[in-house]
Amino acid sequence: MNLSEFRRHGHELIDWMAEYFENIENLPVKSGILPGEVLNQLPAHPPSDPEAFENLMNDFNEIIMPGITHWQHPGWHAYFTANNSYPSILAEMLTSTLGAQCMSWLTSPAATELEERVMEWLGEMTGLPKGFTGVIQDTASTATLVSLLTARENATRFAINRSGFYGKGVFTIYCSSEAHSSIERAVKIAGFGQDNLRKIEVDKLFAMKPESLESAINSDLKKGFVPLAVVAAIGTTGSTAIDPLKEIGEICKKHKLWLHVDAAWAGTAMLLPEFRYMIDGIENVDTFVFNPHKWMFTNFDCSAYFVKDKGALIQTFEILPEYLKTKEGSMVNNYRDWGVQLGRRFRALKLWFVIRTFGVKGLQEKIRNHIRWADEFAGWVENEKTFEILAPSPLATVCFRLHPAGVDDEQQLNSLNARFLDEINQSEKIFMTHTKLNGKFTLRFVVGQTNTERHHIEKAWEIICGIAMRMK
């Protein structure tokens, strides 16, 4: 492909992209293909001769597109959202055009300095206290791993980095039984051992019980374990429960434990001052993560990680071989030492484009609408006798199930709701997923796709009710 072909195909692609968004509602939200269907259409061996771009696009449309699940469809109510937006997509095009590898200040000074500034903006926009410094990580999973590694090194004065775990005692980590699986994975790969993760019980609202946390810590201390860190969830993945940060923070302070907050999805709601109650107690928090790539209209991947002690973070990861030394040294931020990976994409650009295009007010308005529509939806569910709400919805996710009069066997209800969900998704108009709360098969209705409007929520409700009426 030469430059003039690149230019021509580039213009064609922009048209393709605009038409995609124009027609997205006509596509089935969830791909309905069977396992192997795409694979079997792909040649077993790579082409030895060059192929025309037209052929590629043809195959993209014919083979790939039917196997795509459309996360940007306004009928997206599954998992959490992974939103993009027009400014974010355009910024990603520039990022890939520049192809800059932003490991050090020197390797693209503007990328580093823009990241520094937009993370300050994001800290201010979410109401985090001034003492926090931000850095973009690829995902919340990585941020949580980075946090627990920093906790480990901070507590042992960087001794495990130097000489390993031998003779350091057995560390214990705490999170609620509703916490995200990425915490267990971080505990596993950071060398703590899954057996040393304590899953603390939750209350009726699915939030961590502080008194159970404290008794678990005391019991571990008595047995000779070394309690190290707590991960509190602001917005659990199952039901968006909010752990009581204030009480958890006091316990951490008292026992000198590291406190990490996982607000992967819900953190975006902090753009609204009325939701900052969720971080009441932030003064005792060491690290905090939320994902603009979920609800804040910024293409995956973009995870905002905030730390109180950037020195501890850098000292945990820093490594300086001769070939990476620069004369600016520590006068500037070298983000290669702020996490696991060396190479980094220029991710601040899309965040900058998103924040400036929407403006803080524009972002707030969208988020506020999502929360309002979810509240309305929850009201409709509540008023319909065959449905049952299974958890509070403090933000924009509604947990419920079908519960027809006279059917009270839990197993029967579980299989009924599994079939119900299947039927809903076979409509191809909306996509929802489930979780289990207290053993009950629970449908989750997440409101927050970039392109969702109120009329889509009404339509979704019609579809759900229509299918519910046919369920036996």
Ligand X SMILES: *Cc1c(COP(=O)(O)O)cnc(C)c1O
Residues near ligand X (CB under 6 A) are: 80, 139-141, 180, 182, 233, 235-237, 262, 264-265, 291, 303
Nearest approach, Cβ of residue 47 and ligand X (Å) = 34
**CA-based max dimension of the chain:** 75
User: Cα separation of 225 and 217, whole Å?
Assistant: 9
Nearest residue (CB) to ligand X, 139 versus 154: 139
The DSSP secondary-structure symbol of 392 reads -
In the complex, the smallest distance separating the C-beta of residue 413 from ligand X, rounded to whole angstroms, is: 26
Q: Residue length, the chain? A: 472
Residue (of 45, 60, 83) closest to 9 by Cα position: 60
Instruction: Work out the angle between the directed axes of helices 181-189 and 140-155 (0-180°, nearest 10).
Output: 50
**Shortest Cβ distance from residue 236 to ligand X (Å)?**
6
- Residue closer to ligand X by CB (options 214, 243) is 243
Structure tokens at 390: 């299974």
When the beta carbons of 115 and 178 are compared against ligand X, the nearer one is 178
**Closest alpha carbon to 288 in 135, 125, 117:** 135
Nearer to ligand X, 447 or 467 (CB): 447
- Residue 183 CB, shortest distance to ligand X, in Å, is 8
Nearer CB in complex with ligand X: 38/82: 82
Question: Residue 382 corresponds to which tokens in the numbers above?
Answer: 């509540």
Q: Give the nearer residue to ligand X in terms of CB position, either 62 or 201.
A: 201
Q: How far is the CB of 23 from ligand X (least distance, A)?
A: 28
Nearest approach in angstroms of CB 137 to ligand X is 8
Tokens of 315: 């000292």
Contact call for residues 310 and 330 (beta carbons, < 8 A) = no
Tokens of 242: 């909010």
Q: From the CB of 8, what's the least distance to ligand X, in Å?
A: 36
Work out the number of other CB atoms within 10 angstroms of the CB of residue 34: 9
DSSP letter, residue 447:
-
Q: Which is nearer to ligand X, 140 or 363 (CB)?
A: 140
Minimum distance from CB of 342 to ligand X (Å)?
A: 20
Cα separation, 263 vs 278, whole angstroms: 10
Nearer to ligand X, 108 or 126 (CB): 126
Closer of 444 and 456 to ligand X (Cβ):
444
Residue 48 burial (10 A CB sphere; 0-12, 13-18, 19+): exposed
From residue 403, give the alpha-carbon distance in Å to each of 77, 237, 414.
21, 23, 10
Among 345, 362, 302, smallest CA distance to 88 is for 302
* Residue 143 vs 424, nearer CB to ligand X: 143
| Residue linked to tokens 């980095």 | 161
419 burial level (CB within 10 Å; 0-12, 13-18, 19+): middle
Nearer to ligand X, 144 or 417 (CB): 144
CA–CA separation, 452 and 447 (whole Å): 8
- Least distance from ligand X to the Cβ atom of residue 260, Å: 11
Q: Cβ(399)–Cβ(393) under 8 Å?
A: yes
Q: Residue 166: is it exposed, middle or buried by C-beta count within 10 angstroms (0-12/13-18/19+)?
A: exposed
The minimum distance between CB 289 and ligand X, in angstroms, equals: 8
Q: At what angle do helices 210-223 and 245-255 cross, to 10 degrees?
A: 20
CB 338 within 8 A of CB 307: no
For ligand X, the closer of residues 115 and 138 by Cβ is 138
**Least gap, CB of 263 to ligand X (angstroms):** 7
CA distance 363 to 358: 6
Nearest approach in angstroms of CB 262 to ligand X is 5
Q: How far apart are CA 431 and CA 28, in angstroms?
A: 9
Residue type, 176: S
